[in-house]
Structure 1
């Protein structure tokens, strides 16, 4: 199918999932999604090791997912297709080997983003969100399997962009003894302390008056999905303003469950069930550290920023 407007395809290889976006630019300059798709293909197992490597199984699953998504994107005949990878591939000793396998299977070069490039692209993507069009100064966070991106905007100009190794897969491997069991109080405390110490060591501060905060990424998306299923409404009908009270309630519920029960929770993807308690504890630790009581949720993140940079204005 050829499109009336020039389009760009972006495939984003995250630690937990691999996502594709085909987007075009409207007459008013805003980006519009033509098609989007996500495949849960965790490639980041072992990311917490001192010398992380991608497993053969993880690389195979990743390549298969990229091939499937590339076929979907190519069907739209975009001007270009950008394939980018983040923390899991960036930190792995065999990341270049995996990139070569992706290119061999798809004919598309894979670009491994630095932490700064990842954060900058997330920031650019957030500015594409029409719900944030009137926001001037705010903080942005994106939690993945390998890293937590922390950004700040003043007068819609990016003033801080940093990446910390606080992803939910990384911290689960490091701090959770058995993810098949309920989360213990000691484990939750360990996650919260680790996040707090990392933020302190990185010198990340949130001076008063505290600007509002935006969160993108799978943790808050999944939290809204759980709420949607419980209320029998669509995800779009849930409130994009997600309170820490709500996140704490979801953590309390999921944390008491063994993994087999978590996998049956409506709205919680089976492949995320093992790391979701750690992810929620990480978000709540960040909120406690900074003093946030709620986050505005946005679906606009890295792949939107890549698309915005490649589409003609």
Structure 2
């Protein structure tokens, strides 16, 4: 195998990974690129449909990524999409336009596939046997229970930071009343999955840019340094709760001035920190563990097994 290009059409950004097998089952990353396009900003109607401008921006990014794959002479190029296209009423139009303009067939991942690929990336890059896996995208959250390294249960919830921020108006300062409404809402969702109680007290392995950003905020403000690699970095409940309380007490313009806060995530970061805080409380978890690898690496490792 020479190299594989994997294009991920996510809710908050579009990402490219070009990698090759180094030795054994180790991944050698050759190139990575991210286009920060929040596709849900281009929804029209309540259905929703992705607008013509949104489709145009999507295709431009895919074409740009295609050129990079050509430069690296990729043996295979895989294009996947998650919740943002999964829920679009005009997804067939979008897929046809992508095929016509780029030649790519896009595979829209199911919630199960998205969660399982996160699990594949985790078992290949971290050494834990029993844990919850929480993959927080922009529009959805995939939760899985892993026992003895086996993928036991999963749920795909439309509780990503973008829809949660809109639903509860979390863009500015957040009142105790709103936080309580938020808690009750997601607890009602959690109660639908009785298997969550089977994993009480287990650590939580997390995937996603929002969670990585929360870790960076903690490092910059409480440990006094920056961290280039967050893989396997750990935070306890008090760490997360302190950051969450601080972020929720500020409006957007104040948040962006906190060290470590990504300006591109400052509007939705409170939804992410609130979700993780209440998931830790619900599951009695003591710590979260950052997995910087996600579905793209999961796809890569799956290709090695074929």
Rounded Cα–Cα distance in structure 2 between residues aligned with 1:312 and 1:207: 30
Q: CA deviation at 1:290?
A: 0.6
Kept after mapping to 2: 8 A contact 1:21/1:73: no
The two structures, once aligned, show a CA RMSD in angstroms of 2.4
Deviations 1:241-284 (A, max 9, x none): 12222222222222222212323434322221111101111111
Kept after mapping to 1: 8 A contact 2:42/2:54: no
Match among 3, 9, 12 for residue 5 of structure 2: 9
From the superposition, tell whether residues 136 and 13 of structure 1 become closer, same or farther in structure 2 (CA, over 3 Å).
same
Counting only pairs closer than 5 Å after superposition, residues 47-62 of structure 1 correspond to structure 2 as 51-62=47-58
User: Higher relative CO (CA 8 A, sep ≥ 6), structure 1 or 2?
Assistant: 1
Kept after mapping to 1: 8 A contact 2:201/2:286: no
Kept after mapping to 2: 8 A contact 1:7/1:311: no
Q: TM-score, normalised by structure 2?
A: 0.90
Give the aligned partner of residue 120 of structure 2: 124
Give the aligned partner of residue 183 of structure 1: 174
Match among 210, 223, 243 for residue 236 of structure 2: 243
Match among 256, 259, 269 for residue 276 of structure 1: 269
Q: Which runs of 4+ in 1 moved over 4 A?
A: 46-50
Match among 214, 218, 229 for residue 209 of structure 2: 218
Deviations 1:155-186 (A, max 9, x none): 2121112211111111112221x62x322222
Match of 1:235, SS state, is coil
Rounded Cα–Cα distance in structure 1 between residues aligned with 2:168 and 2:38: 19
Match of 1:281, SS state, is helix
Give the aligned partner of residue 142 of structure 1: 135
Kept after mapping to 2: 8 A contact 1:243/1:293: yes
Rounded Cα–Cα distance in structure 2 between residues aligned with 1:296 and 1:48: 37
From the superposition, tell whether residues 58 and 203 of structure 1 become closer, same or farther in structure 2 (CA, over 3 Å).
farther
Q: TM-score, normalised by structure 1?
A: 0.88
Give the aligned partner of residue 93 of structure 1: 89
Give the aligned partner of residue 207 of structure 1: 198
Kept after mapping to 1: 8 A contact 2:141/2:156: yes
1:172 aligned to 2:165? Answer: yes
Match of 1:268, SS state, is coil
